[in-house]
Amino acid sequence: MGQGRVIVTHDRDFLRLHAAGVPHAGIAYCDKDRKSIGEIILRLIQLWERIEAKDMVARVQFL
């Protein structure tokens, strides 16, 4: 969990790490090329407004 930061990614390897039970501070995942950068930013803002950092621990949120 290193610095305790949620990672934003489109790399499926992070989903595999999550499935394997590797501890993490949270993953915000978006399929590559499925959303515009503007939509991704909007969804990240909404995520930040609704979910506390402590509630993201060991969680994957699909954007």
CA distance 62 to 43: 9
**The pLDDT of residue 4:** 86
Q: Is residue 16 part of a domain?
A: yes
Expressed as residue numbers, the domain containing 38 is 7-62
Q: Are 27 and 59 in contact (CB under 8 A)?
A: yes
- Look at residue 52 and give its three-state secondary structure: coil
Count how many domains the chain has: 1
Tokens of 15: 């989903």
**The pLDDT of residue 58:** 97
Q: pLDDT tens digits for the chain (63 residues)?
A: 678 899 999 999 999 999 999 999 999 999 888 899 999 999 999 999 999 989 999 999 999
Q: Is residue 23 part of a domain?
A: yes
Q: Is residue 22 part of a domain?
A: yes
Q: Is residue 47 part of a domain?
A: yes
Tokens of 63: 């954007």
Q: Are 61 and 28 in contact (CB under 8 A)?
A: yes
Q: Is residue 18 part of a domain?
A: yes
Tell me the pTM. Answer: 0.88
**The pLDDT of residue 1:** 62
Q: Is residue 1 part of a domain?
A: no
